[in-house]
Amino acid sequence: MLRGRMRRRPLAILAAAVMAAATLAGCGSVLGHSGSSSLTNASLVLDFTPNAVHTGIYTALARGYDRAAGIRLDVIVPSASTDSIKLLEAGRVNFALLDIHDLAIAREHGADIVGLLPIVEEPLAAVIAQPGIRSPSQLDGRLVGITGDPSDTAVLRSIVAGSGGHPASVKTITIGYDAVSDLLARRVSAATAFWNDEGVTLNARRPGFQIFRVDDYGAPSYPELILCATAAEVHKHPAFARAVVHVLVRGYDATLADPAAAQQDLESRVPGLDHQLTYSELAAEIPAFTGPEGHFGVFDESHLHAWALWEKRFGIVSATPDVATMFDTQFAPRG
């Protein structure tokens, strides 16, 4: 299940915003200047509509961290699962948030895209089951809903196998992006979903659902959500990439330091969010914003290598991802 695939829901594309996104021409030459006339435009397409996982980005905007770094960050909402990758490759946006599985699949298909900064340092993938199911092994012979995304089957197989169950005996049905409604209506015994999204929503609606996270059942810990750009543009304009990474690191560091104030920043920039749901999601996500040493944005190479082997083992990609070329770690914090 891929966050880059819109976290389960299609959206209407913001064509005007995309058309207004600046190119990289001349970038890097004015970084560090704070005058509005000298700011360098930077466009960032999200993985989904703004929500708690993006709090650090909107905190950076609300507090002017982008302008202090000499850039004007333009945040764009995508329309479908492949939009971010297509926009990056076409040069219509400078940066994108991608699910790590989307990044791996895109690179296997020849995309010249690299990961620059981990945003969420833990897997968000999970199987959410009805309250009476105490272990994924109890899904043998039961009906489980999946979206149809390539990684859904891998997550389900990994979790069931990791609990001692038999993945081949689990019955699956493609339900698209209706995990919440199908679980509430008991049309399925379980569904692949995100613990920080559908998991929070379900337990707010009807407490007691069982959430089985993929990294609790044999999968390695890996960064789910990654800031990405094309390798060619990063090589051409490293100062620009460094500035954008710096802005996001400041935003998420501020979020970790004061989540309540950061939530206010998010809601001031994104009207209409459900305050209580956003609070619950952010509270659940705060630990996932930090790596093993308690810092935001640090790549753990041992985790990445373990993830690459898991990615190939469960068939998300056909060849083990080359971590050394897939991630450009020069801009991320070192811990």
**Span 37-55, mean pLDDT?**
92
- Give the DSSP per-residue string, 230-290: EHHHHHH-HHHHHHHHHHHHHHHHHHHH-HHHHHHHHHHHSTT--HHHHHHHHHHHGGGGB
pLDDT greater than 90 at residue 291: no
pLDDT per position as a tens digit, 57-102: 999 999 999 999 999 999 998 775 547 898 899 999 999 999 999 9
User: Is 50 exceeded by the pLDDT of residue 3?
Assistant: no
pLDDT surpassing 70 at residue 50: yes
Q: How high does pLDDT run on average in the chain?
A: 89
pTM of the model: 0.88
Which CATH code for domain 125-216?
A: 3.40.190.10
What number is the average pLDDT over the span 103-117? Answer: 96
**The CATH number of the domain covering residues in 3-121+223-326:** 3.40.190.10
- The answer to whether domain 3-121+223-326 and domain 125-216 are alike in fold is yes
**Domain chopping of the chain, boundaries:** 3-121+223-326, 125-216
Amino acid at 320: T
pLDDT of 1 > 60? The answer is no
Q: Tens digit of pLDDT for each residue in 22-34?
A: 333 333 333 644 4
Judged against a pLDDT cut of 80, whether residue 111 lies above it is answered with yes
Better-predicted residue by pLDDT, 36 or 198: 198
- Per-residue pLDDT, averaged over 46-67, amounts to 96
**Among residues of the chain, what percentage have pLDDT more than 90?**
80
Residue 114: pLDDT band with limits 50, 70, 90: very high
Q: For the residues 120-147, what does the mean pLDDT come to?
A: 97
Residue 335 has pLDDT above 90, yes or no: no
Q: Does residue 132 sit in helix, strand or coil?
A: coil
Q: How many CB atoms lie within 10 A of CB 221?
A: 19
One-character DSSP codes across 312-335: HHTTSSSS---HHHHB-TTSS---
Gap between the Cα atoms of 293 and 309, Å rounded: 23
Q: Provide the pLDDT confidence category of residue 10 given band limits of 50, 70 and 90.
A: very low
Please tell me the predicted confidence (pLDDT) of residue 18: 38
What confidence tens digit (pLDDT) does each residue in 194-234 have?
Answer: 999 999 999 999 999 999 999 999 999 999 999 999 999 99
> Looking at the predicted structure, is the pLDDT value of residue 105 above 80?
yes
Give yes or no for residue 142 having a pLDDT over 50: yes
Taking the C-alpha atoms of residue 256 and residue 276, their distance in angstroms, rounded to an integer, is 18
